[in-house]
Amino acid sequence: MASALETLCGQAFGAKRYHMLGVYMQRSWVVLFVCAILLLPLFLYATPLLELVGQPREIAEQAGYLSLWLLPMHFSFVFLFRLQRFLQCQLKNSVNAAFTVLALLVHVLVSWLLLEKLKLGLTVATLTLDFSWWVAVVGQFGYVVCGGCPRTWKGFSFEAFAELWGFLKLSVSSGVMLCLENWYYRILVLLTDFLFLCALSAKGIWAGMIGGTGIQTLILAFLTIRCDWDKEKYVTAPQRNGDHDQSREREYLHQMDNLDNLVAHEFGQWVRPKY
């Protein structure tokens, strides 16, 4: 769902509406925090859910116990992925890389100390994950609010609570799109094996992944060629001209919400048989 922020922040940065990057990030925090709360039952009831899908009771109980210790890491994702997109849209990839390396070094050091030297067990291993993820969050947040992004971070704003429904729809559609993009050919390959249509091996999985990626690339290239860029220029004119009117912003979010429908229509026109 963080990919929605990447789209909006990229548009705002290109249009020189720098203050909107901070507003979009705060708005995304609100949306993703609510979504993180809605996902809590998957952690709290992991044991019965795993037993329901056929996991042995002993494994399900251990996984359910450890899932509770992973809740801090779960909530760190609310802030981490948004901060990364926020900095990436400003071409601050070196900052992301620096704090990622810092988190990795802290994780290795703490894991070695607690697991290798003190022999504290598997539960403590989950705590090291929680700690290292939050190191990255605190570091990036501190960089942003302490003067690292003076043009794009103007402090907390009540604008973050405006247009949440449009932002939620865009975030959900972006998340679903990326999940399907990463899962569709893997699922098809596994279904082929489960239905006993062919003998699946490592070579078959490799061929399926390469073929799926190739087809996806061809479809995206076709849609890019067929896209009416003059129309897209008109749609994004308020952002490029620095128009701060909220009605224009709502229109822009509405256009983004309908992007999937426009793409499907264009592709359907191309593949429709001619009689």
Residues 167 and 140 in one domain: no
Lowest mean pLDDT among 91-95, 111-115, 252-256: 252-256
Lowest mean pLDDT among 97-111, 206-220, 247-261: 247-261
| Domain contains 116 | yes
Residue 233: the pLDDT is 63
Of the residues 118, 148, 178, the one at which a domain ends: 148
Number of folded domains in the chain? Answer: 2
Tell me the pLDDT of the chain averaged across its residues.
Answer: 78
Give tens-digit pLDDT for 131-179. Answer: 999 999 999 999 999 988 898 898 888 887 877 787 778 777 777 777 7
Please name the residue that has the structure tokens 């043009």. 151
| Domain contains 188 | yes
Domain extent at residue 193: 163-271
Lowest mean pLDDT among 5-14, 59-68, 104-113, 236-245: 236-245
Q: How far apart are CA 255 and CA 264, in angstroms?
A: 14
> What's the one-letter identity of residue 90?
Q
Residues 47 and 138 in one domain: yes
Residues 29 and 78 in one domain: yes
Residues 95 and 123 in one domain: yes
Residues 137 and 10 in one domain: yes
**Section 82-93 average pLDDT:** 89
| Domain contains 154 | no
Residues 51 and 141 in one domain: yes
Lowest mean pLDDT among 47-61, 84-98, 194-208, 220-234: 194-208
Question: What pTM value is reported for the model?
Answer: 0.66
Coil/strand/helix, residue 245: coil
Contacts of 95 (CB under 8 A, 6+ apart): 87, 140, 143, 148
Residue 244: the pLDDT is 47
Residues 197 and 138 in one domain: no
Residues 130 and 16 in one domain: yes
Residue 227: the pLDDT is 76
Give tens-digit pLDDT for 238-272. Answer: 555 554 445 555 555 555 555 555 555 554 554 44
pLDDT at 207 over 60: yes
| Domain contains 155 | no
Of the residues 148, 182, 212, the one at which a domain ends: 148
| Domain contains 209 | yes
Q: How far apart are CA 50 and CA 64, in angstroms?
A: 8
Residues 19 and 119 in one domain: yes
Q: How far apart are CA 165 and CA 253, in angstroms?
A: 10
| Domain contains 40 | yes
Of the residues 90, 125, 148, the one at which a domain ends: 148
Lowest mean pLDDT among 18-32, 95-109, 173-187, 238-252: 238-252
| Domain contains 250 | yes
In the chain the beta strands, taken as DSSP E runs, fall at none
Residues 140 and 10 in one domain: yes
Residue 160: the pLDDT is 78
Residues 59 and 16 in one domain: yes
